[in-house]
Amino acid sequence: MPPPDPALTLRGVTARYGPAPPVVRDVSLSVDPGEVVGLVGPNGSGKTTLVRVVSRALPPASGAVRVVGRDPYAMSGRETARLLAVVPQDVLPAFSFTALEVVLMGRTPYRSALGGGSPDDWARTRAAMAAASVQHLADRPFEELSGGERQRVVLAQALAQEAPVLVLDEPTSHLDIRHVVDLLAIVRGLAAGQGTAVLAILHDLNVASVACDRIVVLHRGETVAEGEPGAVITDDLLRAVYGVEADVVTDHATGRPAIRLGRPRTLRAPLGRRAHVVGGAGRGAPLLRRLAEMGYEVSVGVLHASDTDEAVAERLNLVRVSVPAFSTIDRESAAECRRLMEAADLLVVCDAPFGPGNLENLRLAVAAARGGVPTVLLEQVPIAERDFTDGAAAELWGALRGLSTVVADYEDVAVEAG
């Protein structure tokens, strides 16, 4: 079967307001029936202008727009409204209409100037309201609704148009997370069930990543990236387009990229003090962040690859000594870790489980503590419950207790460190 003709096409579209320089330059994109395409980009990148070009409000200075193969600027407004439904950012009526009246206006392209709503129009209006979960708002004055409720009523209005192409301009900006999820489900359902072609301007890249089949990135009026979410949403893109340092990780459950903000840059003026943390199994993670925030130059080790502590240390950009998962600590790593411990102004040993793979950490810690490095021992869980070495770990832990300050929670470690 040949691929379906695109439901929405832009070819080399350049658009400007009056004599000003173009806001959108040479943009080409297409949306197939049943496809959800996300249009993302920083504020002022030309996304809404592109929606105006598509929706017959701003004729392109050059290039072409086709909605289901037809030029909207060669059609009447009424014909266009049957093929293309738009959900704008916000609608504020000048007079007091009920939500039902607002949604019913979505049937305009099918009604005569004088006729009232036919039973069919009313049925479709009700169905659109049900789809957008706003039936219960039918008799409420539109202007008294919350921003999120208004947005869903306007979505229902657009759904009532029953157009094969749906363009959404930041449809989730006022929605709480539950309604964001619902809206995405509605949009995906339309694409899958009716074959609706959807073009959605989305600000939240994580939403775009989950909701869209393809993503088009607009920057300063030009397309700078296009493709599947995994190919488009990358660290490099965030840096180049948004000027943001963030981590992009793949959510293995969905296969989609997810952005994690908050990679720390310089957190606090450095104290000029070093701290070394012996962690493992995620027991060190809260401390790593805390000490780094306090201005310590933090090192950690020896850790096993894929340990939570290892991942956190990587995100925090800390000095770390790691060995492959399930291996024992080799001589070279041990020596490196010893140097870090000896250079530290503070050594923190966490109550991690100890087995043959990481027993060496305790030996190193005992040696450093004996050598005079101030040591804090975190002991929330008794050693008996996390000794997998038939007593060797318990013995070393006992020796450490005699050489260090023993505390019961992370807060107290911070007190000792301060």
Q: What is the contact surface with another protein in residues (CB under 8 A)? A: 52, 55-57, 76-78, 80-82, 85-86, 88, 91-98, 100-102, 105-106, 108-109, 111, 113-114, 116, 139, 141, 143-144, 157, 161
Shortest distance, position 52 Cβ to another protein, whole Å: 8
Shortest distance, position 10 Cβ to another protein, whole Å: 17
Nearer to another protein by Cβ, of 120 and 143: the residue is: 143
Cα–Cα distance, 134 to 151 (Å, whole number): 10
Beta bridge partners of 376: 348, 405
CB 11 within 8 A of CB 28: yes
Nearer to another protein by Cβ, of 110 and 410: the residue is: 110
Shortest distance, position 194 Cβ to another protein, whole Å: 19
**DSSP code for 74:** G
Cα–Cα distance, 47 to 23 (Å, whole number): 9
Classify the C-alpha dihedral 49-228-200-170 as positive or negative.
Answer: negative
DSSP class per residue in 309-328: HHHHHHHTT-EEEEE-TTPP
Nearer to another protein by Cβ, of 116 and 243: the residue is: 116
Shortest distance, position 97 Cβ to another protein, whole Å: 5
Cα–Cα distance, 255 to 241 (Å, whole number): 23
Which three-class secondary structure state does DSSP give residue 17? Answer: coil
Nearer to another protein by Cβ, of 144 and 411: the residue is: 144
Shortest distance, position 80 Cβ to another protein, whole Å: 7
Which three-class secondary structure state does DSSP give residue 247? Answer: strand
Helices (H), 139-232: 147-160, 177-194, 205-211, 229-232
Angle subtended at Cα 208 by Cα 207 and Cα 214, rounded to the nearest 5 degrees:
155
Helix (H) or strand (E) holding 262: none
Nearer to another protein by Cβ, of 56 and 386: the residue is: 56
Nearer to another protein by Cβ, of 161 and 322: the residue is: 161
Shortest distance, position 17 Cβ to another protein, whole Å: 12
Nearer to another protein by Cβ, of 143 and 176: the residue is: 143
Cα–Cα distance, 355 to 330 (Å, whole number): 15
Residue 292: partners with Cβ closer than 8 Å, 6 or more residues away? 264, 267, 298, 316, 318
Shortest distance, position 199 Cβ to another protein, whole Å: 14
Nearer to another protein by Cβ, of 17 and 388: the residue is: 17
Q: Read off φ and ψ for residue 257, nearest 5 degrees.
A: -70, 145
Shortest distance, position 378 Cβ to another protein, whole Å: 59
Nearer to another protein by Cβ, of 95 and 326: the residue is: 95
